Structure 1
Amino acid sequence: MTDTARAPPTSRVCIMGSGAEVDTNFDRLDSRSHNGQARFPPESVCIEFCTRKIRATIFRDGMGGVAIIGCGSEWNSKSPHSLGWERLLMLTPPVPTTQAASTLTDPATHRPTDAVTIRERSDRQTSIERLVEPVADTNHDLDRPAPIPAPRSPKTWLESGLSQAQLSDLLLKMLFVHGVQLGSELARLTRLPFGVVEEPLRSLRDQRLVEVSSSDLAGRVSYRFGLTESGRVRAHEALEHNRYVGPAPVPLEQYIEHCQLQQITGTRCTPAILQAAFQDIVIRPAMLDQLGPAVCSGKSIFLWGPPGNGKTTIAKGLGRYLNRFANEIYVPYAILVDNCIVTVFDPGIHQTTDDTDLAQRGITAPANGVLSGPVQDGPIDLRWRRVRRPVVVTGNELTLDLLELKYHKPGNFYHAPLQIKANGGLFLIDDLGRQTVRSQDLINRWTIPLEESVDYLTLANGRKCMLPIEQLTVFATNLDPQQVVDEAFMRRIKHKIHIEAPVREQYAAIFQLACRQQEVPYDEAMVEELLQKYRDLGRIPRSSDPRDLLSMARSICRFHELPFTLNTNLMQDSASRFFDAA
């Protein structure tokens, strides 16, 4: 084959799971055979999606489609663990070459990072913070509760909850994008046992939409399946219906059933466990006594109080509790709602714990990066990922649109909203009353989820679908509650907790902790001088002040090229600057 002299087209592809779209220019279009079908050569690319990078291979199909297929891993400098992206992500036809290339947008209102701020680059920015970094559980005396029963692997296509036609369409799309594939590879791509996809493949062969090019003595699982000309036409029709090509979706009924098994109320929360979760946070025992029953209820919490006194810090502690001491849960890649695909699993929010298990079963590449052998059957449904309970935080950038299904029009599928991705974990709406949307509209939006633990979402065709809300929902504000919410809303909130300013002993403990974190010796005399300055100025100390004062002092020392040690002059200078600015 020779190079084709054509202007490089621009194509738009969507990275499933992240919601990112990227326009990509192809510099050359020489064709060659790939997996037995006419393909243009793959181009290895590394797409930098904010602070996370995704390595992928781009294939251009002879019929005008473009596919990005993960072939490597995504990584983050702060968290070197690898997440496999071995499934096909998206297929779309090329767009006119006049369209601007090399742009990166975020239509799903999130970007995956491990530390985590996720921002939508639009007029209404959204930030979501995963507040808790993965940490080793050093509290061996505080055992995790019994694991939640894993979804059972289906043995037949009937047990999968999908129709034979739905499985057939998914298989046709996979063969169209990936080319000729072994039966074992199709099982890997769909995350279903070969016994489940075998009957749809046999039906496709009978209809002469799929053919077998070769096989060996290992049986049907070793057959090489490829599309016939009629099969390629049918695959195009399936792609017109929706362009999702990934792990087989889970029926809504199965998703609802498993969400009920994964309620927060099923976690074990005791004073000792909660104290361990807050061991790096200065918090009064009386506050833990209020938080504990609220967590055990698994319902809603309303935090209010003056700014800078630890509402977000409390969310960190609750997130640490869920990550370290609560049992893990299962999240599906996608669910099937009224014959529509809704993606749920989000690597930017859901921290997986089953990577080793998947590598052992041949689903993802092991440490050496080489897939070998067939997929090993097991009792767990591989359409689900085992994850730590998610902790999602959104603040004053929250709009009503972010609580609705995100429709991806080119692909004709949906991304789940934030509250669905937070199922089984914690969803914090911070800075309530400071959103661009009216507070009354926002709290009205939460009336049914708080009352009935379900949410009614609207599909593009106007039909409503009911999805479960099984999470610990936390509202936080530094405004007067009477200015933000009405009495009817407060009645629906099960636990109201007032976050007060720290007393002297608590302020000193916070200052000591901040000194330890800043690696500077603690001096109690400095604390007394600061408290006296508070009294002189008629100010009330805030829990965040020690951290901010020490940061100010460090900046002063850095500017004057002095060692960072606390002394009276430095603290007076820092306090004067800090209080004048405040």
Structure 2
Amino acid sequence: MNMQSPSTVVAPPAPRNMAETGLSPVMMRDILLKTMFRMNLDLVSEIARVICLPVPITQELVDIARTQRLLEAQGTLHATSGNEMGYQLTDGGKARALDALTQSEYYGAMPVPLEDYKQQVKRQSVRAIKLTRTELLRGMGHLILPDDLIDNLGPAVTSGRSILMYGPPGNGKSSISNGIRDALGDKIYVPRALEYSGQVITVYDPIVHAAAEAAVDDPNSLRRTSNRFDNRYVFCERPTVITGGELSLEMLDLTYNPTARTYQAPLQLKSTGGIFIVDDLGRQAEPPQKLVNRWIVPLEEARDILALQSGEKFTVPFDTLVIFSTNFHPNEIFDGAALRRIFFKIKIDGPSQENFLKIFAMVARKKKMPLDERTLVHLMKVKFPSINNNYANYMPNFLIDQMIAVCEFEGVPNHMTPDLIDRAWGNMFVRQEIIAK
């Protein structure tokens, strides 16, 4: 059973005062002013929700800004908001907000100091997950795999170390990677943004991070749940980043926005606590050897080195299960030193004849294509011997989709015949020939 689960991953505690946020009062004040200016907010409860701090700390910030004559009370209570006092920027507050915006356009959720985040990463490390065979099989439930493959995958995933899956194309390397992701199953806390050396680095990305359902507070309850954990974090499924041929070395560095003067976290930092899948390794513009060299230190020391625009370098956690997937033989794209740094190498072969037929039947059932014994005999006894009985996992879907397309075009019910198999087979391969120019 997983050592970590939604109930056992320790949540980042909500700060009880300004000091416990780990941020400088000036930075917090400026983000408060910028947020009020950009979003036209005036109620402390609204401001607290947007900057992701408890109301008492937000009120403390507002009071500090008032003493500095940057905010002023509007003088009236909002009857529709529980008689809450409203606040507005003074002329000096607007000037300070505009000045702060010229330094950084960032506003909204208060960032989490990098050092605090490092501690949270330890509390929810992907390396602390120990999957059982049952849990891994559950994640792979939609796949038909040989037992020896599960035997190899299990220890690889449980170790939390890097994995290289290789083998001929079309045999489910990407699907297996996704199955591993599904098997993890628990949830972690992802910071909306990080702070380092006064700079803000945005981390939470709705494309990468799937937020879990938040608990809804009962307004009549004496025990409110909104401050159960630090709201500067988002409670999420363990993240999965999938890249393919588009991956470049630049995507592994901080992205600086010169207009907003903020940074965006690189892909591997966004995948912290989850999985980073490098699909189609060898198809990138960068040589595979170069990509792995970039990760030598992270893979061995569980830390990565990033750099600000100023050139200042700093370390961030590298707590992600890296899965490389390639159609090339490892010896073609890596030297021995690189291969040593990839902890597990697992070959993904095509299915046996027995498993191929199981997959074919499963796909046919799913797509409502009736099986036909005569057609299957033709496929197995005539077509596959022509390619030395090399079965691939993608073939059932391909062949059945081809036959369905013909049936739909002809306006007849789905069915399979030897003739339809021949037509589908013809689209699966391209005949070698010389084309006149």
**TM over 0.5: same fold?**
yes
Q: Equivalent residue for 1:341?
A: 200
The answer on whether the counterparts of 1:250 and 1:332 sit within 8 Å (CA) in structure 2 is yes
Which residue of 368, 371, 385 corresponds with 1:519? 368
Q: Against the structure 1 CA distance between its residues 547 and 515, is the aligned structure 2 distance closer, same or farther, given a 3 Å change threshold?
A: same
Pairing 1:108-507 to 2, within 5 Å after superposition: 146-179=7-40, 181-214=42-75, 216=77, 222-322=84-184, 326-355=185-214, 357=215, 359-360=216-217, 378-507=227-356
Q: State the alpha-carbon separation in 2 of the partners of residues 576 and 223 from structure 1.
A: 74
- 2:370 touches 2:414 (CA, 8 Å); kept in 1? no
Deviations 1:56-79 (A, max 9, x none): xxxxxxxxxxxxxxxxxxxxxxxx
In structure 2, give the amino acid aligned to 1:464.
K
Q: Which amino acid aligns with 1:514?
A: V
- With over 3 angstroms needed to count, the CA separation of the structure-2 counterparts of 1:501 and 1:523, relative to structure 1, is same
CA distance in 2, matches of 1:180, 1:279: 49
Match of 1:83 in 2: none
Partner of 1:82: none
Q: Distance in 1 between matches of 2:341 and 2:163?
A: 10
Asked if 1 retains the 8 angstrom alpha-carbon contact of 2:369 and 2:400, the reply is: no
Would you say the 8 A contact 1:390–1:426 is kept in 2? yes
Cα RMSD over matched residues? 2.3
Structure 1 residues 377 and 442: alpha-carbon distance in aligned structure 2, compared to 1, 3 A threshold: closer
**1:540 aligned partner:** 390
Deviation string 1:387-431 (CA, Å, 9 cap, x unpaired) is: 111122111111111111111111000111111111111111011
For 2:238 and 2:20, how far apart are their aligned partners in 1?
A: 27
Long gaps (5+) in structure 2: 433-437
SS at match of 2:234: strand
Superposed displacement of residue 268, structure 1 = 3.8
User: What per-residue deviation string (whole Å, max 9, x for no partner) do you get for residues 489-534 of structure 1?
Assistant: 1111111101112111111111112112211123455344323322
Structure 1 residue 361, shift from structure 2 partner: 7.4
Work out the CA distance in 2 between the residues paired with 1:332 and 1:221: 33
Q: Distance in 1 between matches of 2:218 and 2:93?
A: 31
Contact kept, 8 Å, 2:5 with 2:187, in 1: the verdict is no
Q: CA deviation at 1:305?
A: 0.6
Alpha-carbon distance in 2 for matches of 1:224, 1:425: 42
- Taking the aligned partners of 2:246 and 2:254, their CA distance within structure 1 comes to 17
- Aligned partner letter, 1:290: N
Deviation by residue 1:442-482 (Cα, 9 ceiling, x = unmatched): 11111111111111111111111211111110011111211
CA contact (8 A) 2:105 2:260 kept: yes
Higher helix share: 2
Q: Is the 8 A contact 2:208 2:241 kept in 1?
A: yes
- CA distance change for structure 1 residues 221 and 249 in 2, over 3 Å: closer, same or farther? farther
Figure out how many residues of one structure are paired with residues of the other and give that number: 423
How far apart are the structure 2 equivalents of 1:206 and 1:577? 76
**Contact (CA 8 Å) 2:6, 2:187: kept in 1 or not?**
no
Distance 1:572 1:181 in 2: 71
Whether contact under 8 Å (2:203, 2:264) holds in the other structure is: yes
Q: Deviations over 1:315-371 (max 9, x none)?
A: 12112212xxx321010111102211111111111111133x2x4378xxxxxxxxx
Correspondences of 1:93-108 after superposition (within 5 Å): none
Secondary structure of the structure 2 residue equivalent to 1:329: strand
The aligned counterpart of 1:554 is 404
1:443 counterpart SS class:
helix
Is the 2:272–2:319 Cα contact (8 Å) retained in structure 1? yes
- Quick one: distance in 1 between partners of 2:41 and 2:193? 25
* Unmatched tracts of structure 1, length 5 or more: 1-142, 363-374
Q: Is the 8 A contact 1:194 1:221 kept in 2?
A: no
1:573 and 2:404 are equivalent in the alignment: no
Residues 1:144 and 1:341: Cα distance change in structure 2 (over 3 Å): closer
Give the secondary structure class of the aligned counterpart of 1:542.
coil
Contact 1:338–1:465, Cα closer than 8 Å, also in 2: no
- Residues in 2 aligned to 1:317 and 1:477: alpha-carbon distance in whole angstroms: 17
The separation in 2 between residues aligned to 1:398 and 1:410, in whole angstroms, is: 25
TM-score (norm 2): 0.91
Q: CA deviation at 1:175?
A: 2.0
Distance 1:202 1:145, change over 3 A: closer
Distance 1:165 1:456 in 2: 28
Q: How far has the Cα of 1:563 moved from its partner? A: 1.7
2:36 aligns to what SS in structure 1?
Answer: helix
